[in-house]
Chains A and B, each alone.
Chain A
Amino acid sequence: MAIDWFPLWLSLRVAFLSTILACAVGLWIAYWLAFREFRFRDTIDALVTLPLVLPPTVLGYYLLVLLGRNSFIGKAYEAVTGGPLVFTWQAAVIAAFIHSLPLLVKSTRSALEAVNPNIARAARSLGSSEWRLFSRIILPLSLRPVLAAAAIAFARALGDFGVTIMIAGNIPGRTQTIAVAIYDAVESNNGDLARTLVLVISAVALFILWIANRLAPRQTT
């Protein structure tokens, strides 16, 4: 039996891009939640955590409304790129990003909070900007746990099903990620394919978790 490996490569690519996106956004959110006092901190915290507890279909629905062809963002995207955003592999990246962001924010926030708060205060009293404080001191001090969190976020992005199928659909060879392909294989009674893909994705996930565990325990403060 010839196995189509496209879903695996697509999933890896989607997970990689969404992890980079999640790190760029999530680290900054985590930093602000950990080190800054501002008025809507609890609200932002709750909003960021929401995707962790909402059913994936609900998240997918929200995203369809937000990014669909009739939405402002959807129209803007279409005007720039010439094609719709939904039901493309780019939409799968967004789905994976939304799915993994809360986890990344939660765990990097606790890593950042482990840094002595007086270190941040000292840097600020020396006139340092927030960016310089973050990039030169806080991030280097919490690099290992942050990388571990990124690895977990990657693993989670790899496994997203619900949100992906809502906004990227199940188009073989275009938007069919490995989680969706497994569902498809089971539905169409293709047991061999399902078994192979399940084993492969399990092995990849285990490997990533092993890396994350290697990174996590040693924390510098």
Chain B
Amino acid sequence: MILARIKKAFPPGKDSAAFTIDADFRTDAPVTVLFGESGSGKTLTLDAIAGFVRPDEGRVMINDDLLFDGATGVHLPPQARRCGYVFQNYALFPNMTLRQNLEFAAEFRPKLDRHRKVNEMLELFRLADIAGRKPHELSGGQKQRCSIARALLAEPRVLLLDEPAQGLDATLRAELHVVLRKVRAAFTTPIVMVTHDLDEAFALGDRMFIYQAGRILQQGTPTEIFDRPASLAVARQLGVYNLLEAEVLTLDPGRNTSTLRYADFDLQGPYLPGKFKGDHVWVCVRPEELRPSVRTARPGMGQVAVQLERATPRPGAMRLEFDRDLVADINRDDYERNRHLKDWILDFPTSSLRVL
């Protein structure tokens, strides 16, 4: 169990505005993902857990061990916290070979045991052949594997990763995910990682925290959050939704339906407990859930008339961008047949509407 309740205020600096982090964070998932735009306090949370930053108040605990407590003034130095930290730029020691980097982390062990452990790690992370090289002779992926192996050798209570995929190309990213799954399977060390890549959060995360401006907006499994963003801010952070501002026209608890007016169109949504007629609500819909078709008649219930502005190919589909800032996916053949047409209709299935 990792608990981090941290509060820290930063006065405005020469080239930075004032910033306050106020995050309450508790997880016992094998892999926890901190997701959010840069400057939202994700890395600061890692730094507070590792002991690089001293919060103004709050508490940091791993399992039953108290690492920081604002009220009693407990603040263990990083050396005593046993938090493995994988930095964005890997922070390998440039004056040492890869093997020496690993040995540095294992020096608390007796010599024979250390040698065996380091060799095991070199094998596990496919670094044995290049163990004699210095960091500047390694590729990005190798440096990363070395950095993870080094952190694990110190037998940390938690492995903290700061945007591990930043700056890696697609192949290396996939490789990193394989490595992290391996770590997850071979070690019991829980992982907390910072990312702003949604695919990565889904690929690896068991639990996800959405950060914005120093606060946690929502937490849950990635699927939970994706299916049910708690607020407009979360939906915007995830960045994969059409966001519509609509007015509640009718509410029918008996049939579990509602009618929402968006621009001049009526959409049928689920019943909205707690809302009243005339309320303005935000509706979010994922592009792949909309059904675009060529306009042949006036739009009916659950349909919106739109003009096609741009089409861009995506893996496996075409992404159509319409006026009103609406985006929908369509399969390539359907698009090719109608590519010259401008007037389209978008179908909004009732189940696709998520009202915030």
In the complex the two chains form, is B83's CB within 8 Å of A128's CB?
no
In the complex the two chains form, is B104's CB within 8 Å of A136's CB?
yes
Answer yes or no: A214 CB below 8 A from chain B CBs.
no
* B-chain residues with CB within 8 Å of residue A25 when the two chains form the complex: none
Whole-angstrom distance between the alpha carbons of A127 and B92 in the complex?
Answer: 15
Answer yes or no: A171 CB below 8 A from chain B CBs.
no
Q: Which chain A residues numbered 117 to 139 have a C-beta less than 8 Å away from chain B?
A: 118-119, 121-129, 132, 136-137
* B-chain residues with CB within 8 Å of residue A129 when the two chains form the complex: 79
In the complex the two chains form, is A119's CB within 8 Å of B82's CB?
no
* B-chain residues with CB within 8 Å of residue A63 when the two chains form the complex: none
* B-chain residues with CB within 8 Å of residue A128 when the two chains form the complex: 79, 104
Whole-angstrom distance between the alpha carbons of A141 and B153 in the complex?
Answer: 23
Interface residues as binary, B41-55 with A (CB distance below 8 Å gives 1, 0 otherwise): 000000000111000
In the complex the two chains form, is B95's CB within 8 Å of A121's CB?
no
Interface residues as binary, A38-76 with B (CB distance below 8 Å gives 1, 0 otherwise): 000000000000000000000000000000000000000
In the complex the two chains form, is B79's CB within 8 Å of A127's CB?
yes
* B-chain residues with CB within 8 Å of residue A122 when the two chains form the complex: 85, 87, 91-93, 150
In the complex the two chains form, is A123's CB within 8 Å of B104's CB?
yes
Whole-angstrom distance between the alpha carbons of A10 and B95 in the complex?
Answer: 38
Whole-angstrom distance between the alpha carbons of A121 and B85 in the complex?
Answer: 9
Answer yes or no: A220 CB below 8 A from chain B CBs.
yes
Q: What's the minimum C-beta distance from A172 to chain B, rounded to whole angstroms? A: 48
Chain B residues with a Cβ closer than 8 Å to the other chain, count: 29
In the complex the two chains form, is B154's CB within 8 Å of A127's CB?
yes
| Residue among B77, B81, B91 making CB contact with A116, cutoff 8 Å | B91
| Residue among A116, A125, A136, A137 making CB contact with B151, cutoff 8 Å | A125
* A-chain residues with CB within 8 Å of residue B82 when the two chains form the complex: 127
* B-chain residues with CB within 8 Å of residue A132 when the two chains form the complex: 107
Interface residues as binary, B78-122 with A (CB distance below 8 Å gives 1, 0 otherwise): 111111110101011111100000001101100000000000000
Whole-angstrom distance between the alpha carbons of A136 and B96 in the complex?
Answer: 9
In the complex the two chains form, is A124's CB within 8 Å of B77's CB?
yes
Q: Closest A residue to B108 by CB, please name it.
A: A127
In the complex the two chains form, is A121's CB within 8 Å of B78's CB?
yes
* A-chain residues with CB within 8 Å of residue B107 when the two chains form the complex: 132
Q: What's the minimum C-beta distance from B284 to chain A, rounded to whole angstroms? A: 38
Q: What's the minimum C-beta distance from A18 to chain B, rounded to whole angstroms? A: 29
Q: What's the minimum C-beta distance from A136 to chain B, rounded to whole angstroms? A: 7
In the complex the two chains form, is A125's CB within 8 Å of B95's CB?
no
Say whether, besides A118-B87, A136-B104, A125 and B81 are in contact (CB < 8 Å).
yes
| Residue among B51, B52, B79, B95 making CB contact with A137, cutoff 8 Å | B95
Say whether, besides A116-B89, A119-B91, A141-B95, A125 and B83 are in contact (CB < 8 Å).
yes
* A-chain residues with CB within 8 Å of residue B50 when the two chains form the complex: 121, 125
* B-chain residues with CB within 8 Å of residue A136 when the two chains form the complex: 93, 104
Answer yes or no: A140 CB below 8 A from chain B CBs.
yes
* B-chain residues with CB within 8 Å of residue A125 when the two chains form the complex: 50-51, 78-79, 81, 83-85, 151, 154, 156
Q: Closest A residue to B50 by CB, please name it.
A: A125
In the complex the two chains form, is B93's CB within 8 Å of A137's CB?
yes
* A-chain residues with CB within 8 Å of residue B52 when the two chains form the complex: 121
* B-chain residues with CB within 8 Å of residue A118 when the two chains form the complex: 87, 89, 91
| Residue among A121, A127, A137, A221 making CB contact with B87, cutoff 8 Å | A121
Whole-angstrom distance between the alpha carbons of A137 and B100 in the complex?
Answer: 11
* B-chain residues with CB within 8 Å of residue A121 when the two chains form the complex: 50, 52, 78, 85, 87, 91
Q: Which chain B residues numbered 126 to 151 have a C-beta less than 8 Å away from chain A?
A: 150-151
* B-chain residues with CB within 8 Å of residue A141 when the two chains form the complex: 94-95
Q: Closest A residue to B89 by CB, please name it.
A: A118
Q: Which chain A residues numbered 98 to 119 have a C-beta less than 8 Å away from chain B?
A: 116, 118-119
* B-chain residues with CB within 8 Å of residue A124 when the two chains form the complex: 51, 77-79
Q: What's the minimum C-beta distance from A146 to chain B, rounded to whole angstroms? A: 13
In the complex the two chains form, is A140's CB within 8 Å of B85's CB?
no
Q: Which chain A residues numbered 148 to 168 have a C-beta less than 8 Å away from chain B?
A: none
In the complex the two chains form, is A126's CB within 8 Å of B104's CB?
yes
Whole-angstrom distance between the alpha carbons of A221 and B92 in the complex?
Answer: 11
- CB within 8 Å of A: which residues of B? 50-52, 77-85, 87, 89, 91-96, 104-105, 107-108, 150-151, 153-154, 156
In the complex, the 7 A-B pairs of residues with the closest C-beta atoms, listed nearest first:
A122-B91, A124-B78, A118-B91, A125-B85, A126-B105, A140-B95, A126-B154
